[in-house]
A and B are shown apart, each in its own frame.
Chain A
């Protein structure tokens, strides 16, 4: 028995000693900032973005034989944060990831995994020149940029024209501007059996699901407020409570479903509307005859005053990168007006440029469907760039799910409770 205990202690002691080794040197940041040579990048794995990425890499590599890019795909969605987090810890993250979620930036930054782009002499200037005022939302709490705002998918309301026609609703200008109009239209659709549900936001409990139900409407209602501002939760304001009450009615009257759906409810006609950004247009081609309107507000604000959630993905430089000079050059190359244009053409997603609506007149002339998103892109709200960002979203989601979706608690009470917890979380850094 004694021997056993001794062995166990030895094994544990050995493993604890190993914990102390953090290894590796941080290196001289200034020297790294100008170092040039081969680099690796990751991009998202959806077909259109891969096509763009391959083209971008080929264009760069043909002109820079000594500073080649190696590129790999990583998944979008659930697993990508996990993969990036593990790679940061192991020190084998690539130089650039063209799929960095703004919600994860504060966490990666805290891990020491990101290179502030301000370390490059023209870093700050470049970001602010390219994106304009919107860039401010992507600044971290220490005033630095750890991400380059890259592209957004301003979220709007898509509706199925066929379903609306069946329910006797105007298909060019459907009444969806105010909550009352929206609810009346939704009831009509369901009553006419034009679709099983009026709209189908994912009712599941993942932290990011609120970006596609509560948050866009909250951004619109509050005139562009973030979920948390100046270290205080904003969502339990009157505006936030109005949004919650609106969705509560949708669920209570079974206009939206509490059940997780396999596949795309909008595409197969189960839902007559969807809250989504322009990336989805490619998937609707030939399947849905759709129209699009801004998200509703209680008073029916005019379209040009409506803010929405940006659903942006950004580019960040990771601290494992050795040849940061090259990485910065690639970053600028990949977000140049020319490459942004190619990205827009390939994916239909909006580069986060201040002039996106005017910079690519040919594209928008040929694809008028996308024009409305370019206009909306000027008024988007990002997730707040604060410490504990994901914990805050999960806290919010838990409260929202319990009260608004499942009606187990009064929504106002739930939001107040969540706000209290979120205030605590936002205070820590």
Chain B
């Protein structure tokens, strides 16, 4: 196709701009202001005031960032969330790909299986946390089954196990969503490829590696990115499951600390600085992951 000046200025399908307009207006109306505001706050000595109250909010440069970065609790929270991601993301990818491949084949009780894997995802964390507390506390069901193998101190109050337990919990909770993503993607893998593979004498495992895995690569990218982003924004679980990031901050997440500093303690400037650092961190991780898992198009 020849590219005229209009095409060059607006792109090949200017109608696309019309299609995304509602979404862009929505982003601008709902997110641009609060987000810009958060960035603004992080560079000022800022706190929320009632309308009409006159206070000074001097520009302080990177002071808030210095405060945040020199705070051991914040550094610990960032380290914690890295531990979380290192456990959660690979576990999510492996389990959801494996389970969805199994579910995609003709198998008895398929509907039942799909529903059961999806149930945790549909349920509010607030609701499920109660059961997990009951299952994982020191004299809960899990420990009474494990008997002498039960960890001491128990899962959620053990500073080494609290974060991994949360990571497993979140994997369990979110897995249904990722299974759905993979199931939809598996519909796209051409049956011919499997036939060709089995003609070449490839076993089930081989054809999984050589056909399925490359076939769902775009979905894998998506799963890795979404799992990373949801994981980095971890909040409800340390808030409810380990009573505010316990024991002794071992399960505190950056968003939890941001919530404590910014909303509970009334220092939104500090909170925003944590938030901005987190956003930058996640973007960097996401870029690295895209490099490794492969671009989606």
Give the docked Cα–Cα distance between A12 and B39 (Å): 10
Give the docked Cα–Cα distance between A23 and B265 (Å): 25
Give the docked Cα–Cα distance between A111 and B158 (Å): 39
Chain A residue contacts of B130, Cβ below 8 A: 262
Chain B residue contacts of A18, Cβ below 8 A: 33, 36-37
- The answer to whether A25 has its CB under 8 Å from any CB of chain B is yes
Q: What does the 1/0 interface line of B42-68 toward A look like (CB < 8 Å)? A: 000001111111010000000000000
Q: A408 — nearest CB in chain B belongs to which residue? A: B248
Whether A85 touches B53, Cβ cut-off 8 Å, given contacts A11-B28, A259-B138, is: no
**B36 adjacent to A11 (CB under 8 Å):** yes
- Among the stretches A58-66, A135-143, A201-209, the one at the interface with B is A201-209
**A82 adjacent to B36 (CB under 8 Å):** no
Contact among B47, B73, B261 for A111, CB-based, below 8 A:
B47
Chain A residue contacts of B249, Cβ below 8 A: 205, 398, 402
**B244 adjacent to A19 (CB under 8 Å):** no
Give the docked Cα–Cα distance between A27 and B50 (Å): 13
Contact among A19, A25, A93, A388 for B36, CB-based, below 8 A:
A19
How many A-B residue pairs lie within 8 Å, measured between CB atoms?
A: 147
Contact among B33, B52, B53, B159 for A406, CB-based, below 8 A:
B159
**A112 adjacent to B137 (CB under 8 Å):** no
**A81 adjacent to B51 (CB under 8 Å):** no
Give the docked Cα–Cα distance between A398 and B243 (Å): 12
- The answer to whether B156 has its CB under 8 Å from any CB of chain A is yes
Range class of the A interface residue count? 35 or more
Shortest distance from the beta carbon of B189 to any chain A beta carbon, whole Å: 35
Whether A88 touches B133, Cβ cut-off 8 Å, given contacts A258-B157, A259-B157, is: no
Chain B residue contacts of A90, Cβ below 8 A: 51
Shortest distance from the beta carbon of B125 to any chain A beta carbon, whole Å: 15
**A85 adjacent to B266 (CB under 8 Å):** yes
Shortest distance from the beta carbon of A127 to any chain B beta carbon, whole Å: 22
**B242 adjacent to A260 (CB under 8 Å):** yes
- The answer to whether B26 has its CB under 8 Å from any CB of chain A is no
**A388 adjacent to B49 (CB under 8 Å):** no
Contact among B48, B156, B243 for A202, CB-based, below 8 A:
B243
Shortest distance from the beta carbon of B59 to any chain A beta carbon, whole Å: 12
- The answer to whether B113 has its CB under 8 Å from any CB of chain A is no
* Most-contacted residue by chain A among B133, B137, B245, B266 (CB, 10 A): B266
Q: A7 — nearest CB in chain B belongs to which residue? A: B24
Q: Which of A335-353 contact B (CB under 8 A)?
A: none
Give the docked Cα–Cα distance between A291 and B51 (Å): 50
**B36 adjacent to A16 (CB under 8 Å):** yes
- The answer to whether B32 has its CB under 8 Å from any CB of chain A is yes
- The answer to whether B154 has its CB under 8 Å from any CB of chain A is yes
**B244 adjacent to A206 (CB under 8 Å):** yes
* Most-contacted residue by chain B among A18, A25, A204, A319 (CB, 10 A): A204
Q: A24 — nearest CB in chain B belongs to which residue? A: B51
**B48 adjacent to A111 (CB under 8 Å):** yes
Chain B residue contacts of A261, Cβ below 8 A: 137
- The answer to whether A91 has its CB under 8 Å from any CB of chain B is yes
Q: B244 — nearest CB in chain A belongs to which residue? A: A205
Contact among B32, B37, B157, B260 for A394, CB-based, below 8 A:
B260
- The answer to whether A22 has its CB under 8 Å from any CB of chain B is yes
* Most-contacted residue by chain B among A82, A107, A196 (CB, 10 A): A107
Q: Which of A202-226 contact B (CB under 8 A)?
A: 202-207
* Most-contacted residue by chain B among A85, A110, A205, A318 (CB, 10 A): A205
Q: A113 — nearest CB in chain B belongs to which residue? A: B50
- The answer to whether A26 has its CB under 8 Å from any CB of chain B is yes
Chain B residue contacts of A262, Cβ below 8 A: 130, 133-134
Chain A residue contacts of B28, Cβ below 8 A: 11, 14
| Sample of 20 further A-B pairs with CB below 8 A, known A19-B40, A402-B249 | A11-B32, A12-B32, A15-B32, A19-B36, A22-B49, A23-B51, A91-B50, A112-B52, A205-B245, A205-B249, A206-B243, A207-B264, A259-B154, A260-B137, A262-B134, A319-B53, A320-B50, A390-B265, A394-B260, A408-B159
Residues of A within 8 A of B (CB): 11-12, 14-16, 18-19, 22-27, 81-82, 85, 88-91, 93, 107, 110-113, 196, 202-207, 257-262, 318-320, 388, 390-391, 394, 398, 401-402, 405-406, 408
Complex A-B: 19 CB contacts under 8 Å:
A18-B36, A19-B36, A19-B40, A24-B52, A26-B53, A85-B266, A107-B266, A111-B48, A111-B266, A203-B157, A205-B249, A206-B243, A259-B137, A260-B243, A320-B50, A391-B267, A398-B73, A398-B249, A406-B248
